[in-house]
Amino acid sequence: MTKRVAVVTGGSSGIGKEIAKHLKRNGMTVYALSRRVDKMNDLDDLGITTGYVDVADYDSVDQAIQNIYADAGRIDVLVNNAGFGSFGSLEEVDLKDGEYQFKVNVFGVMKMIQSVLPIMRKQGSGRIINMSSMAGKTGMPLGSWYVGSKYAIEGMSDSIRQELKEFGIDVVVIEPGAIESNWSSIAMNKLKAISSDGPYAGASRRLADFFELSYRYASKPMVIARMVDQAAFSANPKTRYTGGYGAKASLFLKRYLPDKAFDALMEQVRIMAQRMVNQEKSQRNQVDRNLETK
């Protein structure tokens, strides 16, 4: 029996790399794609085929899918994992940066889907797994471009799921919470570069401290990889899988609280996180001063 073939974008680190390993371990032929091919040598060692793609370069996407189809003769699963988070106040983020956020997180995803659909329709089967976020339903201050891109993934996935059903193609959304990766440090560095001074400085510090505290408890990437396994291998997959630190609790509260009540609650959580982080810093500084006086 022909092995099922999976394509994973953003395969050079974190969640994407773990997804590729899990799918391979569970019996699929896996192609991991990334701009940073040099970071995937360990995947090559496991028998995973690695290749280049820049999802913001549409010719690059077409070429990658053509190469995979020519090599494997089919594509059964597409995992759209590539993406990044750009943070900063809406007022201060340059529109070109906002456009690029959407080009990678939304248009790049849709281009990947467009490229595999003729293959999946011809097969009469396929599974498209789109990486969203708990932020794709909850929102957060100073993250409007990232949040907006994930809201778009949620809504477009719902629409695509309905239009592809007659072709035997399933569409699944994954909604991670806080996961160990370099995503948060990149996002917060961007936040500090854009909004650490000026009118949004206070909100910027609260959000940065909230992220610092939250990501101490971040889940391992394998949590998301296992959800992708369920989405990829289940005979009747759910439309959404949610997991990782904070995700289920946040989505539960968002579902049942009025919007303004949810906003107020999350602001209080950020204030509490900032107090805790500041208290820890103060204690460390006191310890350092005590050591200096000895």
Residue 215 annotated among the catalytic residues of the structure: no
Buried b (16+ CB within 10 A) or exposed e, 148-183: bbbbbbbebbeebbeebeeeebbbbbbbbbbbbbeb
Helix orientation angle between 201-214 and 259-293, rounded to the nearest 10 degrees: 80
Do the beta carbons of residue 76 and residue 127 sit within 8 Å? yes
Find the catalytic residue in 146, 200, 215, 245: 146
How far is 152 from 157, CA to CA, in rounded Å?
Answer: 8
Find the distance separating the first CA and the last CA of the chain, reported in whole Å: 73
Give the number of other Cβ atoms within 10 Å of residue 230's Cβ. Answer: 14
Residues marked as catalytic: 146
